[in-house]
Amino acid sequence: MADAAARVVISPPGGAHHGVARLLDANLNRAREGLRVVEDWCRLGLQRPELVARLKDYRQRLGQHHSSSWKQARHAASDPATGLAHQAQQERSTPRQVVAANCARVQEALRVLEEFGRHGAAELAATAATIRYGLYDLETALLANQERHQTLRQARLYLVTQPAPELLAVVKACLEAGLRLVQYREKAPRPGESRVTDCQRFRTATALRQLCWDHGALFIVNDRVDLALAVEADGVHLGQDDLPPLAARRLLGPERLVGRSTHCPEHLCQAVADGCDYVGVGPVHATPTKPGRPPVGLDYVRQATACSPVPCFAIGGVNLENAHQAIGSGAHGIAVVRALMSASDPGAVTRQLLQVIDTSALPRP
């Protein structure tokens, strides 16, 4: 009698419409739960707020379509798969395996929502399709090696080089003093200056990349995606007139970094939408490095850091005397050119700048 009672199934109201309602409810739950698992890992494990923002948006958009009538159609007692487990669930021993499994879970649930939602829940079906394709791309970033992004989050001082007779010596001194982020920038020569060949750029970039790697620092190439790939750089930095970030990402892959110069909130929003890993905000002050470009001041630094999910580096005329203003305005870090490249003792100035950053970033009483 006990065995017979255990086999009794309580049946819910029947009908195809009711069955579809239960199916949509179950897969909305499945998709939203899976997204939350991945979102929390990005938040607390990877500390990647830009990924958290995208996943949260997916989850909220699905929630807006979760009809109360579908929720009321739930009937766990009559679901033959309730409590059903699989051995593969016990074999997920690493966060990466958990993330991969939940991405697959979400994608499968979204496909079910597409198929059964086309007739009667067309908006849900369209939303599910859009999120599914977005998650395919996002999954590559989730499962990529995160070491570069972790180093980027720790780097607060960013050296952008300019031509100098002792370029390698200057960069080495800064690295030995604690610098962890270097960009090789070699702009077109001005009238009267000698032209730099691509072969020379390649040799210089290779030497700088090795110096950075020897000191556990990131090496970024300005503008040139081809050069970044040729020397195995950690990423590329793009101006507003350079190759679009999405095109650069296709060439660089998900593990390398893509940075973007921004001069207004519209630039920032587009950079985030394009999946950039960090942004430069400026020029904060007038600088000969960007002749003719008016400074944006600290107001834009405050605006950018208040809404950006990616690190913001204040750039443009930032030096030892005013660095505290940029950090005090919320910038993740500062990017400098002349402050280090023209310093008589670049190692000493690096240490002083790092001290200013640490002090300025402390919570005020």
- Neighbouring CB atoms inside 10 A of 63's CB total 11
CA distance 301 to 280: 10
Q: What type of residue is 339? A: A
CA distance 95 to 220: 29
Catalytic residue among 59, 156, 180, 290: 290
Catalytic residue among 185, 209, 256, 260: 185
Catalytic residue among 261, 308, 329, 360: 261
Which among 247, 271, 249, 246 is positioned nearest to 260, based on CA atoms?
271
146 and 200 in contact (C-beta within 8 Å)?
no
CA distance 168 to 196: 16
CA distance 145 to 321: 37
CA distance 42 to 48: 5
124 and 117 in contact (C-beta within 8 Å)?
yes
DSSP 76: G
Cross-strand pairs, 313: 280, 333
CA distance 152 to 311: 8
CA angle in degrees (0–180, nearest 5) for 343-292-294: 85
Helices (H), 181-288: 198-214, 225-230, 245-252, 265-273
The H or E element containing residue 115 is helix 95-117
- Neighbouring CB atoms inside 10 A of 99's CB total 21
Catalytic residue check, 338: no
Instruction: Please enumerate in sequence order all residues whose Cβ is within 8 A of that of 187, keeping only pairs 6 or more positions apart, or say none.
Output: 222
Which among 174, 231, 223, 238 is positioned nearest to 204, based on CA atoms?
231
Catalytic residue check, 344: no
Whether a cis peptide bond, with omega within 30° of 0, leads into 254 is no
DSSP 364: P
Active-site amino acid positions: 185, 261, 290
